[in-house]
């Protein structure tokens, strides 16, 4: 048994999605597409107790559920520079990083798919996400063709590398939106996916994501304004699901005058450090 | 249309496999498991003609087939420090790198799964491999649960990171072995996979790979001797399928007195550069 282990999980921004609830949390999930970035979450784990988020005591329900599923009692330190509640999937990343590190420290001998399944199920049951974990496991620009954990879902990806900029204007509650009426949203997400699958490029992804946010009625004023400003400056931007966050390709936001964070598309997916 | 594009594809060593031929090259493939390494193949591609391998004119049938499938006329420069015919899947890597770079240069707007499918089919039709391409696309320690390209196959992985050492004693012809009687080999590979799936750890992978090479009667004298020497020095080694190559975890080969190449497990899978 290793004394401690660390894991890195990339941030994941969903551009559009459709919600597919199910009583079985490994079947529940979302279709849609997003982008993973090399800013992410680092989890360090050792036998013990308690969770720290950026050095402060905290609770992340999905992490507790992962530890419960793996029958492990551990101290979990989660570090991230990503904004919280902003649509980067920090809770899903913490859950997946916890699964990877627990497997290493407590010698559970589980496969990648099994660990992703546990983290995905924990995140669904906590109500904090439907598709971040499977995207974060893959890296790149993940496309969720079919919802759910690896045994049920199906993934593809956009074979491109880009710089990504983002700016955050505040938090949105994933749980509130996911428990509300998602019919309109799911219809818009289904249309977006079928357009992207017909022409799987990053440009199509940005275009259908922009349209999705409008059709699903999720735009806030600062988000709408930033997307328009990037467009007018000749760039491509969209809204992060679910946060009051705008992400853009290359230097789209800074070219439009925003003070934006910049990162690269992540190539690795989640992994032990 | 970009003027040129580059792609990196990791080397992939199969530890054990079972062969699953089919008339449809996207259904044909192998079950088994292997390891990808951060030594790999770099492909640089631009409109033009001809292929160079490490600066010399060469022919790689799988690359020609990829270009044909993508209706592209291109100059392809393939660079690698990996030994050829040694079980690292250099031809599959060249095919997959060509697919990724062609998609970028000729704006084919295909998804990752579509490009992997084209490269896998090209490699199968060329008779030079059955499972390298899908493993190289994923990275890490890929497990091929079901044979074939993404739409048909199913993958998992071992969530571990290790240093890998290897030593090469000569070439083996993949095509010759794959067109011979593979019944015994496939029975041994099937047993190995079921043991690994029950206990998916790197240690199990090395153990079942060693047993597979013996049961499939593929060991040559220098390979058998090196595996035994690593074992006696307390390490873990196995034979690369298909090459006269021994690979070991950590410093297993150098600890046994061999002058071995060292690399790290690849985390990214194939990607544009």
Is A109 in the B-facing interface, judged by CB distances under 8 Å?
yes
Q: What is the mean pLDDT of residues A193-200?
A: 98
What percent of chain A stands above pLDDT 70?
A: 97
ipTM: 0.95
B113, B140, B197 member nearest A156 (Cβ): B113
Task: Give residue for tokens 């520079």.
Answer: A81
Residues of B in contact with A160 (CB under 8 A): 104, 272
**Residue of B111, B201, B204 with shortest CB distance to A143:** B111
Residues 214-253 of B with CB under 8 A from A: none
Which is higher by pLDDT, A158 or B182?
Answer: A158
Residues 6+ apart with CB under 8 A from A181: none
Q: Does pLDDT of A182 surpass 70?
A: yes
Q: Which two tokens stand for residue A5?
A: 């282990």
Structure tokens at A186: 């799911």
Alpha-carbon dihedral sign for residues A100, A106, A111, A115: negative
**pLDDT for A1:** 58
Cβ proximity of A54 and A175 under 8 Å: no
| Residue A20 Cα distances to A25, A178, A197, B85, B133, angstroms | 10, 10, 19, 47, 32
Residue A180 reports pLDDT greater than 90: no
What's the CA gap between B261 and A189, in Å, rounded? Answer: 49
d(C-alpha A233, C-alpha A223), whole Å? 16
Q: What is the pLDDT of residue B227?
A: 98
Find out whether A65 and A117 touch, Cβ atoms under 8 Å.
no
pLDDT score for A170? 87
Number of H helices, E strands in chain B: 9, 12
Residue-level pLDDT at B188? 95
Which tokens go with B27?
């259904």
Q: Which of A182, A82, A73 is nearest to A132 (CA)?
A: A82
pLDDT of residue B175: 66
- The whole-angstrom separation of Cα B39 and Cα B46 is 23
> Could you list the pLDDT tens digit for every one of the 273 residues in chain B?
569 999 999 999 999 999 999 999 999 999 999 999 999 999 999 999 999 999 999 999 999 999 999 999 999 999 999 999 899 999 999 999 999 999 999 999 999 999 999 999 999 999 989 999 999 999 999 999 999 999 999 999 999 999 999 999 988 776 677 667 788 899 999 999 999 999 999 999 999 999 999 999 899 999 999 999 999 999 999 999 989 999 999 999 999 999 999 999 999 999 999
A265, burial (CB in 10 Å: exposed 0-12, middle 13-18, buried 19+): buried
Interchain proximity A156–B111, CB inside 8 Å: yes
The nearest CA of chain B is from the CA of A63 a distance in Å of: 18
How high is the pLDDT of residue A181?
75
How far is A112 from A114, CA to CA, in rounded Å?
A: 5
Contact with chain B for residue A140, Cβ under 8 A:
yes
- Determine how many CB atoms are found less than 10 A away from the CB of residue B254: 18
A266 touches chain B (CB under 8 A): no
B51-53/B74-80 β-pairing: parallel
- Going from the C-alpha of A152 to that of each of A88, A146, B263, the distances in angstroms are 24, 7, 34
Nearest-CA neighbor of B92 among B126, B46, B69? Answer: B126
The rounded mean pLDDT for chain A is 95
Taking CA–CA distances from B8, the nearest residue in chain A reads A267
Domains and CATH numbers, chain B: 1-273 (3.30.230.120)
pLDDT of residue B171: 83
- Beta carbons of A119 and A18 less than 8 angstroms apart: no
């Amino acid at each position: 048994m290793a004394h401690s282990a660390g894991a890195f999980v990339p941030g994941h921004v969903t551009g559009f999605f459709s919600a597919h609830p199910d009583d079985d949390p490994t079947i529940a999930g979302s279709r849609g597409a997003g982008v993973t970035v090399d800013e992410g979450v680092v989890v360090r784990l050792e036998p013990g107790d308690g969770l720290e988020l950026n050095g402060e005591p905290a609770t992340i329900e999905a992490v507790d559920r992962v530890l419960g599923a793996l029958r492990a009692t551990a101290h979990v330190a989660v570090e991230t520079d990503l904004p919280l509640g902003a649509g980067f999937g920090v809770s899903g990343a913490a859950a997946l990083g916890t699964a990877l590190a627990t497997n290493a420290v407590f010698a559970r001998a589980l496969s990648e798919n099994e660990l992703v399944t546990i983290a995905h199920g924990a995140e669904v049951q906590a109500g904090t996400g439907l598709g971040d974990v499977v995207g974060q496991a893959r890296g790149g620009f993940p496309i969720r063709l079919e919802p759910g954990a690896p045994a049920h879902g199906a993934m593809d990806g956009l074979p491109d590398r880009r710089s990504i900029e983002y700016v955050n204007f505040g938090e949105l509650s994933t749980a509130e939106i996911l428990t509300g009426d998602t019919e309109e949203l799911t219809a818009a997400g289904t249309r977006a996916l079928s357009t992207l699958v017909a022409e799987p490029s990053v440009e199509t992804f940005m275009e259908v994501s922009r349209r999705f946010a409008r059709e699903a009625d999720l735009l806030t004023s600062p988000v709408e304004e930033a997307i328009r400003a990037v467009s007018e400056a000749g760039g491509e931007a969209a809204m992060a699901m679910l946060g009051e966050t705008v992400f853009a390709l290359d230097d789209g936001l800074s070219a439009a005058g925003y003070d934006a964070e910049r990162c690269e598309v992540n190539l690795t997916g989640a992994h032990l450090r």
